[in-house]
Amino acid sequence: MEQKISQLIKERYKLDVQPIVTRPDEQFGDYSSNVALQLAGRLKSNPRAIADELAAALRESGEYAGVEVAGPGFLNIRLSNKALIAQLSHQPRQSRRGQKVVIETNNPNPFKAMHVGHGFNSILADTVANLLEASGAEVHRVSYHGDVGAHVGKSMWAILKYIEGDVSRLEAIEPGARNDFMSRMYAKGAQAAKADDEVKKQIDELAKQSFVLDDALYRQVYEICKAWSFEQIDATVKRLGCVPIERRYLESQADALGVETVKRHTGDVFIKSDGAIVFPGEQYGQFDAAFISSAGRGLYPARDLGLMQLKHADYRADKSYIVTAEEQKAYFKNVIKAAELCLPELDGVTQNISHGTAKLTTGKMSSRDGDVVTIESLFSQIQQAVVARGGEAKDEIVAGAMRYQFLKVKIGSDVIFDPAETVSLQGNTGSYLQYAHARAIRILEKIQQSPDDFAALDSKLLNSEERSLVRKLTEYSDVLERATQELSPHYVCSYLFELAQVFNRFYEQHTVVGSKEQAHRAALVARYAHTLRRGLQVLGIHAPDSM
C-alpha cells in the first residue's frame, strides 16, 4: 500500500515521499494514511484538498472497494475482497539480507544449576536470533560461560569437602542427581563464604586455582564437574526449545587476550590507579571501572574485551549481540566503549540487549547465595499445573508455556510467573495458542484438508466474519517486519493472541465441516493454522497437532 500511494504521489506531484500507512479499526477501512498532511507544507496546499485529489485518483484505479477522506485529510482505504486475499501472499522485507550476525544465545556459568533468570535470557536470545534470521541475516549462535573466578571457588570448596580426597564419591552420583548436587554445593559454598572470613580466604585461593589448575586433585574434580555442568546446560537449553549453539566460548579463553589488550592500551585508553588498570569511563559519560586488579589479575570487563576479539576473529560479523539482564546494561555500555577505543574495527559492532527480571509470585530470585528457583524446578511446577488442568505435560507444552510467558512482555519489562496461569487455555498464554493450533488441525483432519492448502479460498464467498479473519491474517507480514526491525518478540505474541480471538468469533458463528461452503471455509481455517504455526515457530514454540 505504501508503494502504491508513493507512486501515485510521484506521478501526480513529482515528489518522492514515503507515506505513513497504518491499520485502523476495521470500521474505518483496511488502511489509513495521513500522507496529505505530510504533503501540505511542500505543496503549500490545504491537506483536505490534497486528500480529496488522492482519494479520487485511487477510486479511478478501480482497485479499491472504497476510499474515504476523514477529518483534516486522512485517507481511509478499503480493499476489495480479491485484493485483500491477494495480500496473504505478501512477505516482510528482509532488511538484513547480506548481513552477518553473531549472538550469544545462552551464558549460564558452570558449577551451579541454571536458574529461571538463565532460562529467561536463553529464551529471549534464541528468539531474537530467530527474528534476525527472519530478517535475512546470516546468524551464528554462540555461548559464553564463566569457568574461572569466585563462583568456581565457592563450588569447589564445598565439593572438595564432600569428596574428602576420594574422587570416586563423585562417580557414584547418578546423572539425574548431578544438577541438584551442583546446586547444593554452590549454595553451601556461598553461604559459608558469607558466614566465615577464614572460609572466605580459602574460597578465594580456590578461585585463583581455577585460573592455573596446577593442583592434580583440584584439576580432576574441576574437569569432572565442568563437564557435568555443560551437559546440564546443553540439555536444559534444548529442553527449552532453543536452537543449539555452534561455538562455546569460556572466560578462561578470553582472559589472557583481554588482559594483553588492556595492558597494550594503558596510557591511551586505560590508566593506572592504585596498582590497578582502570578505564576512565567518566570521560565518556560512563563510569570508571577496573579492568585489571591491583594483584594483576584480569577482571570481568577485561575478559569481555577478550571475548569480543575472539568472536571477531572467528566470524568478522557486522553485528554482535549480547543479551543480558537490565542490571548489566551500564556495565556493557562501559565495556563496549572501551572496546571501540582500543579496537576501531569493533566500532559499532557490539550491541547489548537488556531484559527485565524473572520473578515468581513469591518474589525475585537471586543466585548470590544459591537461593534460586532452578529451571528444573520451574519445569516441574508448570508440568504439575498442566496435569492439574487435565493436560499431558510433554516438554514441548511446558516449554511453550514458559517461552510465551517470557516473550509476551516488552523487552526490559519484568516477568512474573504464576504456573497455573501460565498454562491456562483461556487467556493470553502459550498453551492457549498451542491449543488453538491443535484445534484448527483437528477441524482440517475431519475433512482430510492439508493445513498448507489454501486454493479454495474464494473472495466472492467472504462474509463479514470471514473477511475480518482474512484481514487479520494479512497483518502477519507487517507484524513480523516490525518485530524483526525492532528485535521485539512481543509484537508477534500480541498478534497471534488477537488472531486466535478473531478466528474464534468466526468459528462460533459459522459451520465449517459439512457446510455448503466447506471447501472455502476449510481453506480459510488452513490459512489460519499455517499463519499460527509460522508465528509460533518464530517464537521457538512447538505448534502441536493435538493436545
Q: Please write down the HEC assignment for all residues of 208-254.
A: HHHHHCCCHHHHHHHHHHHHHHHHHHHHHHHHCCCCCCCEEEEHHHH
pLDDT band at 369 (very low <50, low <70, confident <90, very high): very low
**93 inside domain:** no
In the chain, the N- to C-terminal Cα span, in Å, equals 39
Query: Which runs of E-coded beta strand occur in 256-356?
Result: 271-273, 276-280, 288-292, 319-325, 350-355
Pair 105, 65 in one domain: no
Residue 170 C-alpha cell reads as 563423585
The DSSP code for 403 is H
pLDDT band at 371 (very low <50, low <70, confident <90, very high): low
**509 inside domain:** yes
**283 inside domain:** yes
pLDDT band at 367 (very low <50, low <70, confident <90, very high): very low
Cross-strand pairs, 249: 144
**Please, are residues 148 and 112 in contact by the beta-carbon 8 Å criterion?**
no
CATH number (domain holding residue 288): 3.40.50.620
Pair 443, 499 in one domain: yes
* Alpha-carbon distance values, 92 to 88, 431, 483 (Å): 11, 27, 10
DSSP assignment of 394-424 = -HHHHHHHHHHHHHSSPTTS-EEE-HHHHT-
**Please, are residues 54 and 36 in contact by the beta-carbon 8 Å criterion?**
yes
Closest CA to 378 of 392, 359, 396, 391: 359
**383 inside domain:** no
- Mean pLDDT computed over 418-429: 90
Is the confidence at residue 363, as pLDDT, over 80? no
pLDDT at position 91 is 86
Contacts of 508 (CB under 8 A, 6+ apart): none
342-360: per-residue pLDDT in tens? 999 999 999 999 999 888 7
- Mean pLDDT computed over 206-234: 96
Pair 315, 462 in one domain: no
Ranges 48-62, 305-319, 428-442: which has the least confidence: 48-62
> How much is the mean pLDDT over the chain?
93
pTM value is: 0.93
**Please, are residues 367 and 107 in contact by the beta-carbon 8 Å criterion?**
no
CA dihedral 39, 45, 49, 50 (to 10 degrees): -20
**Please, are residues 304 and 329 in contact by the beta-carbon 8 Å criterion?**
no
106-141: per-residue pLDDT in tens? 999 999 888 899 999 999 999 999 999 999 999 999
Domain region containing 507: 423-538
**411 inside domain:** no
Pair 70, 105 in one domain: no
How far is residue 51's CA from residue 35's CA, in Å, rounded to a whole number? Answer: 8
Closest CA to 476 of 532, 413, 514: 532
18-61: per-residue pLDDT in tens? 899 999 999 999 999 999 999 999 999 999 999 999 999 999 88
Pair 19, 132 in one domain: no
CATH number (domain holding residue 34): 3.30.1360.70
Residue 369 C-alpha cell reads as 547465595
Residue 304 C-alpha cell reads as 569481555
Pair 261, 290 in one domain: yes
How far is residue 162's CA from residue 180's CA, in Å, rounded to a whole number? Answer: 14
Angle (deg, nearest 10), helices 476-486 and 464-474: 30
Pair 239, 185 in one domain: yes
- Mean pLDDT computed over 223-234: 96
Parallel, antiparallel or unpaired: strands 21-22 and 288-292: unpaired
**Please, are residues 58 and 17 in contact by the beta-carbon 8 Å criterion?**
no
Which residue type is seen at 470?
V
pLDDT at position 334 is 95
Residue 484 C-alpha cell reads as 524483526
Residue 79: its H or E element: strand 74-79
Closest CA to 411 of 329, 356, 357, 351: 356
477-533: per-residue pLDDT in tens? 999 999 999 999 999 999 999 999 999 999 999 999 999 999 999 999 999 999 999
**398 inside domain:** no
Pair 72, 132 in one domain: no
**Please, are residues 69 and 90 in contact by the beta-carbon 8 Å criterion?**
no
Residue 177: its H or E element: helix 175-195
Answer with the one of 359, 376, 405 that is the final residue of a domain: 359
Ranges 31-35, 77-81, 289-293, 371-375: which has the least confidence: 371-375
Pair 71, 104 in one domain: no
Residue 144: its H or E element: strand 138-145
Q: What is the radius of gyration, based on Cα positions, of the chain?
A: 28
How far is residue 155's CA from residue 272's CA, in Å, rounded to a whole number? Answer: 33
Answer with the one of 47, 79, 111 that is the final residue of a domain: 79
Number of domains, the chain: 3
Pair 126, 258 in one domain: yes
Which residue type is seen at 487?
L
Closest CA to 470 of 212, 134, 83: 83
**Please, are residues 84 and 470 in contact by the beta-carbon 8 Å criterion?**
yes
Pair 177, 130 in one domain: yes
The Cβ of residue 380 has, within 10 Å, a number of other Cβ atoms equal to: 14
**390 inside domain:** no
Parallel, antiparallel or unpaired: strands 363-364 and 358-360: antiparallel
How far is residue 343's CA from residue 329's CA, in Å, rounded to a whole number? Answer: 21
Closest CA to 408 of 385, 381, 427: 427
Closest CA to 483 of 245, 133, 168, 238: 133
How long is the chain? Answer: 547
Answer with the one of 359, 388, 414 that is the final residue of a domain: 359
Pair 31, 134 in one domain: no
CATH number (domain holding residue 458): 1.10.730.10
pLDDT band at 362 (very low <50, low <70, confident <90, very high): low
**416 inside domain:** no
The Cβ of residue 480 has, within 10 Å, a number of other Cβ atoms equal to: 21
